[in-house]
A and B are shown apart, each in its own frame.
Chain A
């Protein structure tokens, strides 16, 4: 990024370096949220609908994992992906893929815990009906997830917010490499360390604006879908 430029100027001038940073940040966080949803929603549904020994413990554990510090996840993924670690042969350390892995681990418990709560509430409402109709297991899970889909969007957005805002995990496993693994949050950390506080704040405002747009888009989609579903 050029010297002496405010973040607003960078946005208005369509600065290619800023654009690639924003694009990478969005690709990484959205990929992580989608992968985490594929893991978290079914897992949440499973816990919601089943009763097993230690279920209360599993729920408390899942809720606790929502608070996993990103820096701890970053460190664990770093050690796993390092050339000296168990998955070192993959050669993924300091790549965008490593960032997706770390953020997926960060976000999956949030989506699973929120999905579990949402689906369990709905299950209490539907249980008698679904049991009376003798709906088989996969059908029950499917119906519940489908009918809870609008509430589940909120769970996904919570996960996206966490992924887009974190810096601790991506800076460790991505390395904040210019043009390769630099995202919005790691760029903000870098500009702060260079003492360019106005640019750092400006980038922060750009990040907030993007998260706002994603949320607004999700809201519009939800409203439109609700009207159609009527």
Chain B
């Protein structure tokens, strides 16, 4: 009995220490970046991070969440860098003293996805506000992220642009699922619903079913990404040197070229614009 218990304890210690040793073996400096599902699901990080590691030796660990959640991880001091896409939320984060300085990095655009049969009759339009009004007027199924993500924030802004008070006007046709971009696309694919998506995730998404892009090209669909170091004055555990090197690399000519080089099916997913002071 004694031996039994002791061997059990020894096994536990052995297994635990091996679990502990696994990350310790990789002695390379590492930073934690809280980012969005769109940058991960589109495969951008899979392309960028090996290049950054080759250039600097720094390992980047990415936790992919919605923009609202990613910023909350930064607020709690659990990330070194936040890399998200909702300018109003980012500026709030900075104003609260959690972010050091916001750097624009790249953009892509949102697209309105819908069933190929297009019951709203908006296919080919470049007026997102008119398209949303048509969906609302006919009460056609619409899937919303509903998760305070960058895409959700943009969707709410577009409803406002369309003159629709979505909080008051939503009905059974408006499904807020509270999940990531991929889950929203899966739901829309199953329900033949309309939804707003970022182009990168849409292009990389593999379960398109009967969905297609119905509205694109409206300048209100612009989708800017920004990066910030979490304020070390607020959270002393932030790895400021390594985190700042990641930010510097993203906005450097080398990093910007790496972003431009990332393509899926020959199409670029993100467009670097670190030099744009208004972005």
Most buried by A among B9, B16, B62, B185: B16
| Nearest CB in chain B: distance from A72 CB, A | 16
Task: List the A side residues contacting B23 at CB < 8 Å.
Answer: 95-96, 180
**Docked-complex contact B41 and A193, CB < 8 angstroms:** yes
Task: List the B side residues contacting A88 at CB < 8 Å.
Answer: 77
Q: Which of A53-61, A160-168, A194-202, A212-220 contacts B (4 or more CB under 8 A)?
A: A194-202
**Docked-complex contact B19 and A100, CB < 8 angstroms:** yes
Cβ of B64 < 8 Å from any Cβ of A?
yes
A185–B182 alpha-carbon span in the complex (Å): 16
Cβ of B191 < 8 Å from any Cβ of A?
no
Task: List the A side residues contacting B76 at CB < 8 Å.
Answer: 82-85
**Docked-complex contact B63 and A195, CB < 8 angstroms:** no
CB within 8 Å for A82 and B180 given contacts A31-B12, A91-B237: no
Cβ of B215 < 8 Å from any Cβ of A?
no
Task: List the A side residues contacting B208 at CB < 8 Å.
Answer: 195
Tally of contacts, chain A with chain B, CB under 8 A: 99
A195–B190 alpha-carbon span in the complex (Å): 12
Cβ of B252 < 8 Å from any Cβ of A?
no
Task: List the A side residues contacting B15 at CB < 8 Å.
Answer: 27, 30-31, 34
**Contact residue among B1, B8, B63 (Cβ-Cβ distance under 8 Å from A38):** B8
Cβ of A19 < 8 Å from any Cβ of B?
no
**Contact residue among A37, A82, A192 (Cβ-Cβ distance under 8 Å from B183):** A192
Task: List the A side residues contacting B185 at CB < 8 Å.
Answer: 195
**Docked-complex contact B19 and A83, CB < 8 angstroms:** no
Cβ of A107 < 8 Å from any Cβ of B?
no
**Docked-complex contact A97 and B62, CB < 8 angstroms:** no
**Docked-complex contact A83 and B78, CB < 8 angstroms:** yes
Cβ of B88 < 8 Å from any Cβ of A?
no
Main secondary structure of the interface of B (DSSP, over half): helix
Cβ of A113 < 8 Å from any Cβ of B?
no
Cβ of B254 < 8 Å from any Cβ of A?
no
Cβ of B260 < 8 Å from any Cβ of A?
no
A174–B68 alpha-carbon span in the complex (Å): 18
Among residues of A, the one whose C-beta sits closest to the C-beta of B75 is: A84
A172–B4 alpha-carbon span in the complex (Å): 35
Task: List the B side residues contacting A69 at CB < 8 Å.
Answer: none
**Docked-complex contact B206 and A194, CB < 8 angstroms:** yes
| Nearest CB in chain A: distance from B70 CB, A | 11
**Docked-complex contact B78 and A96, CB < 8 angstroms:** no
**Docked-complex contact A31 and B32, CB < 8 angstroms:** no
A7–B172 alpha-carbon span in the complex (Å): 38
CB within 8 Å for A146 and B4 given contacts A82-B76, A83-B237, A97-B19: yes
A180–B22 alpha-carbon span in the complex (Å): 9
Task: List the B side residues contacting A34 at CB < 8 Å.
Answer: 8, 11-12, 15
Cβ of A177 < 8 Å from any Cβ of B?
yes
Cβ of A176 < 8 Å from any Cβ of B?
yes
Cβ of B157 < 8 Å from any Cβ of A?
no
| Nearest CB in chain B: distance from A20 CB, A | 9
**Docked-complex contact B77 and A84, CB < 8 angstroms:** yes
Cβ of A94 < 8 Å from any Cβ of B?
yes
Residues of B within 8 A of A (CB): 1, 4, 8-9, 11-12, 15-16, 18-20, 22-23, 32, 37, 41, 46, 61-64, 75-78, 180-183, 185-186, 189, 204-208, 235, 237
Q: Sorted from nearest, which 8 A-B pairs have the closest CB atoms?
A: A193-B182, A195-B207, A83-B77, A175-B63, A34-B12, A195-B206, A142-B1, A195-B205
Residues of A within 8 A of B (CB): 24, 27-28, 30-31, 34-35, 37-38, 82-85, 88, 91, 93-97, 100, 142-143, 145-146, 149, 175-178, 180, 190, 192-197
Identify 16 residue pairs between A and B in the complex whose beta-carbon atoms are under 8 Å apart, listed by A's number.
A24-B22, A27-B15, A30-B15, A31-B16, A34-B12, A34-B15, A83-B76, A83-B235, A88-B77, A143-B1, A145-B1, A192-B186, A193-B41, A193-B186, A196-B207, A197-B207
Known: A94-B32, A177-B62. 12 other contacts (CB 8 A): A27-B18, A34-B8, A34-B15, A37-B8, A83-B76, A83-B78, A83-B235, A83-B237, A97-B20, A192-B183, A194-B205, A197-B207
